[in-house]
Structure 1
Amino acid sequence: MTSHLTSIKTQHHSVIVVGGGQAGLSASYYLQQEGVDHLVLEKHSVTHTWRNQRWDAFSLVTPNWQCALPGYTYVDDFKGADPHGFMKKDEINAYLAGFVKAVNAPVREGVTVQRVVPRAIGGFEVHTSQGEFSADQVIVASGGYHTPIIPRLAERLPAGVHQLHSEQYRNPAALPAGNVLVVGSGQSGAQIAEDLHLAGRKVFLAVGDAPRCARFYRGKDVVDWLAEMGYYEIGVDTHPLREGVRDNTNHYVTGRDGGRDIDLRKFAVEGMELLGRLEGLQGTRMQFALNLAESLDSADAVYNRINGSIDNYIEQHGIEAPAGERYVPNWTPEQERSEVDLVAAGITSIIWCIGFSPDFTWVEAPVFNGRGHPGHQRGVTAQPGLYFLGLPWLYTWGSGRFSGVAKDARYLVDQISSDRAESLIQGKRAAAR
C-alpha cells in the first residue's frame, strides 16, 4: 500500500470520495491541490478492479499516449516502451502503481460504504462497515459496472455446464476441456472469443449489436485520426445523440500483439461458429435469433462509416496519407442456426459477456432514473453537494477512461471549490446580520 492511511478519529470531512480507482484518485489529486480536506473510502484496495477483474492476455484498446491521469501521464512519467503501443495487464498495473504513489491519497481501504444519506441541515451522513462519517460533499467515484448481468435462463442450464461472467474469465486453460459458448460480442466478448480461438479452442459466439472499428487506417491508428478530428473533445451536450450516446455499446477492436482489427467473419472462416442473439433455452437446446447477418452487416457499416469520416477529413485538409479502402465482407452466413444442443455441440463452458448493471441503491438521494442511473450535468446532480465521477460518457468519450477522467475530476473539484466559497460567503453574511 503506497497511500498513507488516515485515522477514523476525525469522523467529519469536507469531502468524502467513494471509490479508490482512477476516478477517485484523480479527484483526490485535485482536492489536494486545492487544499480541501477529504477522505477516499475504498471497498477493496486501490485500483482493485484492474488487478483482479481482467483476463491474463488483456491489453488496452486505446494507445498508451491517451493514458493521461492527473500528474502522471504515460508519456511523461511512466517509463513504458511505446506511446503508440497498448499496455498489457501487468504494464497497466505498473502504471497505476506509479499513479497511486504519486497521488498519495488519504485513503482507507477495506471500507464498504453502506449508505449515503443527505442531512436536513446540509451535507451527508456516510454509514460504512468501519463506522460513521459525515461530509459536506460526496463524490461517488465507484464506476458504473457493479452487478454482472447474467440472464435468468442460466439458472436452468445443465449442472455440468461451467458458467462464468467475463469478469471471472482468466485464460483458456482455466476452463474445462470441451467447446466454449461466448455470449455477447462487445469489447470483452469479442476479445475473449479471440483469446480462446487463438488457443485452439472451438468457440461458439452469440453475436450482439456491438459496432466495430478499424485499428489502423490510412497510415495510423484510428484513435489518432479521431483525436486529430476533435472527436474526443465532443461533450454529451453537443453530441448528435445527446445523452443517448451513454447507451451505445463500445466498438470492438483490440490492442493485442501491437493492435489489430477484430473481424468476426475471419474467425468464422477459421472455424469459429457465429450465432445470432441468444433468445432462449429448452432443456439442453439453446435458441438463437436469425439475425446474425444483420448484426455483422451493421457492425461493418459502422466500421466503413468511421473510415469514411477519416477519408473526408483527409480530403478536406489536403493531408497526404496512404490510400483508403472500403471493407468488403470475406464471409457471409449461408444458413443461420436457430438452435444449438449443448451436449451434441460439446459445449462445456459458457462465458456471459453481456455487461453490468449499476447498483447505487446505497445512495439515498432522489437523483436516479428508472434504470438506476444518476441524473447529472457533467457529474453535478440536483442534490446539493452530491457528485458522480468516472461514469461512461459522464461528459466525453474518455470520461470513464484513463484519457478523460482527469478533465472531469478537475471540473468537479472546481465546482466543489466554488460551492465551498459561496457557502463561506453566505455564512459570513448570516453572521453579520
Structure 2
Amino acid sequence: MSIASQGAVRHHSVIIIGGGQAGLSISWYLKQAGVDHLVLEKHQVGHAWRNERWDTFCLVTPNWQCNLPGYPYRGNDPFGFMKKDEIVEYLDGFVASFQPPVREGVSVNKLWREDGLWRITASDGAYSADQVVVAVGGYHIPVVPRAAERLPADIVQIHSSQYLNPQSLPEGEVLVVGTGQSGCQIAEDLHLAGRRVHLGVGDAPRVARTYRGKDVVEWLDKMKYYDLPVDKHPLGTGVREKTNHYVTGRDGGRDIDLRKFALEGMQLYGKFESLEGEVAHFGGGVKGYLDEADAVSESIKDSIDRFIDANGIEAPTEARYVPVWQPPSDTARALDLRASAISAVVWCIGFRTDFSWINEPIFDGRGYPGHERGVTAAPGLYFLGLPWQYTWGSGRFSGIDRDARYLFDHISALRAGATSSTESTPSALSQAA
C-alpha cells in the first residue's frame, strides 16, 4: 500500500516512537525548545511498568538515581526502592509536569525514508517527519524455547513478563528457568510465599546490596562507574550482551543468595537444555555458576576497597561473604515434572529485539542498529533507551536524561543545518540543563 493511498499524511518536525521514559525524556527537551513533535505509543504511556511487572516488583537501584529531565525524585525515601505502583506514579508525575504531545494506542507498522522525509505507516494512518527517534527499548519479543511446545497441556507456562504473583499460578510446585534479575526475584517471590521452587540456574552474575556502610550503587556512583562510556568498558560493546547482576530492592533492599534459598528447600539445577516427554533436562555446573556469581560480587567489593584506600575515605570494615551452602557432587540433572507435581513453568530467559518494521540498512547481522550514542548513519534517525546505548544508565531512570540531551543537540543541529559536532557546539538548552 502506498502512503498516498492511506489518506492525508500528518507531518511533524520530529516523531518519537515509544512512550516510555526514553521517549518522554526526549519529548521534554523538544517541548522546552518549542519544537513541533509527536509521540506515538502502541499502548499507554509507561505500559511496561504498568503491565509487564509482577505485583511485588520494585527498583533494584536507589530512588535517588531517578532523574528524569526536570523531574528528579522528590520523595522522602531517596535510599529506598520504589515499588511498581510508585514507579508508575513517578512516571505519571513526570508526564503531568510538561504535558507531552502523545497519541496512545497507535502501532507503528513501517518506517522508511523517501524523498528526504521519514515515512511512517501506523494503525491510525500515515505520518511523515523530518527526524525520527526510535525509543522502544531493546526488549521486544519474550524468549521461550521451542522445547516449551512439548510441555504437557495441563502445565501452565508463562514468560516472566506475564507473571503477577504466586496466587496467579495453580497450586503445586513451580519450575523457574533463568537466574537473571527477573528469574531470581520471581523465584524469591514464590519461595517467600511458601511455594516449592525448582530453579534452572544460569551464568548471571550477582552483586551485594551493601558493603562497608553504603549501598554498592552509591559506591559505584562515587567511583564514576555510571559515567563510563561503552567504548571505554573492558568488554566494549560486548557488555550489551551481558546479563544484569541479580540483587533486589525488596523490603528495603538485600542480597539475593541462591545458596540460602537452597538451604531453605529450593532445588537448584544447571541450565535448562531440553524436554523429553515429561522430564526436563539440565546441564551440570551449578557449583561453577554459583562460584562465578560470588566471584563477580567479591571483585566489585575489591574495587570498592581500592577506591576507599586510594581516597583515604573512612568507612567501616566488613567481613567478606562466606558461602552458606555447596551443591552436592551429584546435583540432579533431570526433573520429572509429573512426579514432582510441577503445575507451572516460568520462563525467565529474556527478550529479543525486533526492529523488522524499520526499512533502513543500518542493522548488523543480529538485527542490532548501528549507532554512535544513538545517532545512526541515516540522516535524522536516532535510537534512545537501548541497554548500554552509551553508559550503564542508558534507558534507565538514572542515565536517560544525558542520552536524551545528547540527541536533542543532534536534532537541533540538523534542524539548523549545522555541520559541526554537537559535543563542541552544545545547544543553549543543553548547557542550561
Number of the residue aligned with 1:253: 247
Aligned partners of 1:179 and 1:40: how far apart in 2?
44
Report the RMSD for the aligned CA atoms in angstroms. 1.3
1:332: how far off?
A: 0.7
1:67: how far off?
A: 0.3
> Which residues in structure 2 correspond to 1:174-185 (within 5 Å)?
174-185=168-179
Structure 1 counterpart of 2:23, one-letter code = G
Structure 2 counterpart of 1:209, one-letter code = D
1:34: how far off?
A: 2.1
Aligned partners of 1:65 and 1:35: how far apart in 2?
29
1:33: how far off?
A: 1.8
Aligned partners of 1:138 and 1:103: how far apart in 2?
21
CA contact (8 A) 2:413 2:419 kept: no
Number of aligned residues: 413
Number of the residue aligned with 1:72: 71
Aligned counterpart for 1:317 among listed residues 311, 316, 341: 311
1:373: how far off?
A: 1.1
Number of the residue aligned with 1:87: 82
Aligned partners of 1:188 and 1:103: how far apart in 2?
32
Number of the residue aligned with 1:341: 336
Q: Secondary structure of the residue that 1:345 maps to in structure 2?
A: coil
1:423: how far off?
A: 6.6
Number of the residue aligned with 2:275: 281
CA contact (8 A) 1:28 1:103 kept: no
Aligned partners of 2:312 and 2:102: how far apart in 1?
51
Structure 2 counterpart of 1:84, one-letter code = F
- Is 1:139 the counterpart of 2:133? The answer is yes
Number of the residue aligned with 1:16: 15
1:384: how far off?
A: 1.0
Could you tell me which runs of 5 or more consecutive residues in structure 2 were left unpaired when the two chains were aligned.
Answer: 1-6, 421-433
Identify if the C-alpha distance between structure 1 residues 130 and 423 changes in structure 2 by more than 3 Å, giving closer, same or farther: farther
Number of the residue aligned with 1:97: 92
Number of the residue aligned with 1:114: 109
Aligned partners of 1:153 and 1:104: how far apart in 2?
46
Aligned partners of 2:103 and 2:292: how far apart in 1?
46
Aligned partners of 1:348 and 1:424: how far apart in 2?
61
Number of the residue aligned with 1:3: none
- Is 1:363 the counterpart of 2:358? The answer is yes
Aligned partners of 1:26 and 1:307: how far apart in 2?
33
1:324: how far off?
A: 2.5
CA contact (8 A) 1:233 1:396 kept: yes
Aligned partners of 1:347 and 1:41: how far apart in 2?
42
Aligned partners of 1:40 and 1:423: how far apart in 2?
25
Aligned counterpart for 2:260 among listed residues 241, 248, 266: 266
Number of the residue aligned with 2:423: none
Post-superposition CA distance 1:296-347 (Å, at most 9, x none): 0110000000011001111111111111332221111112111110011111
Aligned counterpart for 2:385 among listed residues 359, 371, 390: 390
- Is 1:350 the counterpart of 2:345? The answer is yes
> Which residues in structure 2 correspond to 1:165-314 (within 5 Å)?
165-314=159-308
Number of the residue aligned with 1:419: 414
Structure 2 counterpart of 1:194, one-letter code = E
Number of the residue aligned with 1:431: none
Q: Secondary structure of the residue that 2:49 maps to in structure 1?
A: helix
CA contact (8 A) 1:115 1:126 kept: yes
Number of the residue aligned with 1:409: 404
Aligned partners of 1:130 and 1:417: how far apart in 2?
28
CA contact (8 A) 2:170 2:343 kept: yes
Q: Secondary structure of the residue that 2:391 maps to in structure 1?
A: coil
1:103: how far off?
A: 2.6
CA contact (8 A) 1:21 1:142 kept: yes
Aligned partners of 1:298 and 1:370: how far apart in 2?
30
Structure 1 counterpart of 2:399, one-letter code = G
Identity across the alignment (%): 63
CA contact (8 A) 2:9 2:128 kept: no
Q: Secondary structure of the residue that 1:348 maps to in structure 2?
A: strand
Post-superposition CA distance 1:234-268 (Å, at most 9, x none): 00121111111111110000000000000000000
Aligned partners of 1:129 and 1:414: how far apart in 2?
30
Aligned partners of 2:109 and 2:9: how far apart in 1?
19
Identify if the C-alpha distance between structure 1 residues 241 and 45 changes in structure 2 by more than 3 Å, giving closer, same or farther: same
Q: Which moved more, 1:248-257 or 1:328-337?
A: 328-337
**TM-score for both structures, normalised by structure 1:** 0.94
1:420: how far off?
A: 1.3
Aligned partners of 1:359 and 1:339: how far apart in 2?
33
Aligned partners of 1:402 and 1:175: how far apart in 2?
31
Number of the residue aligned with 2:153: 159
Aligned partners of 2:106 and 2:98: how far apart in 1?
20
1:424: how far off?
A: 11
1:81: how far off?
A: 2.8
1:369: how far off?
A: 1.2
Post-superposition CA distance 1:133-183 (Å, at most 9, x none): 100111000111110000000001111110000000000011000000000
CA contact (8 A) 1:25 1:103 kept: no
Structure 1 counterpart of 2:50, one-letter code = R
Q: Secondary structure of the residue that 2:359 maps to in structure 1?
A: coil
Q: Secondary structure of the residue that 1:211 maps to in structure 2?
A: coil
Q: Secondary structure of the residue that 1:336 maps to in structure 2?
A: coil
Identify if the C-alpha distance between structure 1 residues 318 and 423 changes in structure 2 by more than 3 Å, giving closer, same or farther: closer
